[in-house]
Amino acid sequence: MTSLFLLQLLNGVQFGILLFLIAAGLTLVFGIMDFVNLAHGVIYMVGAYLAVSFTQMTGSYGLGLLLTLPATLLIGLVLELLVFRRLYDRPHLDQVLATFGLVMIVTEGVQIIWGAAPLSVAMPEALSGSIPLIGQMRYPVFRLVVIGAGLATALGLYLIIGHTRIGMRLRAGATSRAMVSALGVDIHKLFTVIFAFGAMLAGFAGAMVAPILTVDPGMGEQVLILAFVVIVIGGIGSVRGAFAGALLVGIVDTMGRSFGPILLRLVMEPAAAGQAGRVLAPMLVYILMAAILAARPTGLFGQKT
C-alpha cells in the first residue's frame, strides 16, 4: 500500500506539472492583462498537432519539440496582433465571446488540416521504457522527463520574473497597469511579449503530452477548465500560485480517484463505496477550490485588492 501511495503521488505530481505548464501562460495573460483567454486551450492543442507534424517531417521527436516552440510563439504573436489587441479594452463578456469563437474556428481548422481521427507521436526509443521503482511497481521514463521539464520551466520562470528587468515590469504590470504605463513602459509591447510567451508555454505543454496522450480535436477544452481551476486556486496573476495550485490539483485529483473508493470502503459497503467514489472523485478538485476560496478569496498567492 505504501508503494502504491508513493507511485500515485508521483503520478499526481506529474499531472500537476503538466497543468502548471498550461496554467502558467494563462495566469500571466489573465492576471497581468486582465484578459480572459478561452483560446489558451486550443493553442495547447495546436502545439500538440504541430509536434506530431514536425516529428513526422524531421523523424525525431526532439527536433519536432524544438520546432514547435517558435511555431507556437509565432502563432501567439499573430493572434495577438490580429485579434486580441482589439479586445483588451472591451468588457470580459466580449473577450469570452471572441475567444470562444476562436476556439471553434481553430478546432474546425485543425480537423480540416489533420482530420478527426486521433493522432499520436512515437515516443523516442531512449525514453520509451519504464524503470523499476519499488517491488512490482514500474514508472515510465518519459513521465519522469515531463516532471523534469516542468520543474526546469518553473525554475526558468522564477528566474525571469524574479530576477530580470522584463520580469520586474511584469510584476509591476500585474500590480498596477496604469502606473506602469505612466512611467513610460510600452505596455502594448509588453502585452504582446507576454501573450506570445504564454502561447509558447501552452504549445510546449502540448508537445510534451503528445507522446503520452492522444492528439485529438477535443484535447484543448478538457484541460482548459482544470487550468482555470488551477489559476483561481493559486491566485490570478501569480506564477508561483499557479505552480502550487497545479501540484495541489494534480495530487488531489489522482489521489482522490485511486484512494477515495478505498477509504470509503472502510465506512461503507463495497458496492455503495464504489458508487460514491465514482461520483465524488471528479468533484474533489472543485470542492478543494471552493474550500480554498472560502478561506482565501484571492487564492493562495493572490494579491489583496
Partner 1 sequence: MTQSRTILALLAASTCLAGPAAAQDDDTLTIGLLLTLSGPSAVLGEMARDGFQLAAEEIGDIGGMTTRIIVVDDELKPDVATNKARELVQRNGADIVVGPIFSNIMGAIAKPVVDSGAILISPNAGPSVFAGAECHRNIFATSYQNDQMHEVMGAYAQAQGFDNVFLLAPNYQAGKDALAGFRHSYEGGVAGEIFTQLGQLDYSAELAQIAAMQPDAVFAFMPGGMGVNLVRQYRQAGLETIPFLSAFTVDESTLPAQQDAAVSFLGGSNWAPDLDTPENKAFVEAYEAKFNQVPAVYAMQAYDAARLIDAAVREAGGVADRDALIAALEQAPFTSVRGDFSFGPNHFPIQDFYLTEVVKREDGKFATSIVEKIFEDYQDSYVGDCQMD
Binding site for partner 1 (CB under 8 A): 3-4, 7-8, 11, 14-15, 111, 115-120, 122-123, 128-130, 136-140, 142-143, 212-214, 216-219, 222, 254, 257-258, 274, 278, 281-282
Report the residue number, 159 or 287, with the smaller CB distance to partner 1. Answer: 287
End-to-end CA distance of the chain: 45
Strand partners, 215: 119
Report the residue number, 29 or 247, with the smaller CB distance to partner 1. Answer: 247
CA distance 143 to 15: 9
Report the residue number, 241 or 261, with the smaller CB distance to partner 1. Answer: 261
Report the residue number, 11 or 153, with the smaller CB distance to partner 1. Answer: 11
Q: What is the nearest approach in angstroms of partner 1 to the Cβ of residue 74?
A: 27
Q: What is the nearest approach in angstroms of partner 1 to the Cβ of residue 33?
A: 29
Report the residue number, 6 or 185, with the smaller CB distance to partner 1. Answer: 6
Radius of gyration of the chain (CA): 20
Q: What is the nearest approach in angstroms of partner 1 to the Cβ of residue 49?
A: 13
Q: What is the nearest approach in angstroms of partner 1 to the Cβ of residue 223?
A: 8
Q: What is the nearest approach in angstroms of partner 1 to the Cβ of residue 88?
A: 33
Please, is 158 exposed, middle or buried when counting C-beta atoms within 10 Å of its C-beta (0-12, 13-18, 19+)? middle
Compute the half-sphere exposure of residue 234: CA atoms within 13 Å on the CB side of its CA: 31
Query: Which residues, 6 or more positions from 270, have their beta carbon under 8 angstroms from its beta carbon?
Result: none
Q: What is the nearest approach in angstroms of partner 1 to the Cβ of residue 278?
A: 5
Residue 72: helix, strand or coil by DSSP? helix
Segments in the chain forming alpha helices (H): 2-33, 40-58, 61-82, 92-114, 141-163, 165-175, 177-182, 187-209, 219-234, 239-267, 270-280, 284-295
Report the residue number, 10 or 79, with the smaller CB distance to partner 1. Answer: 10
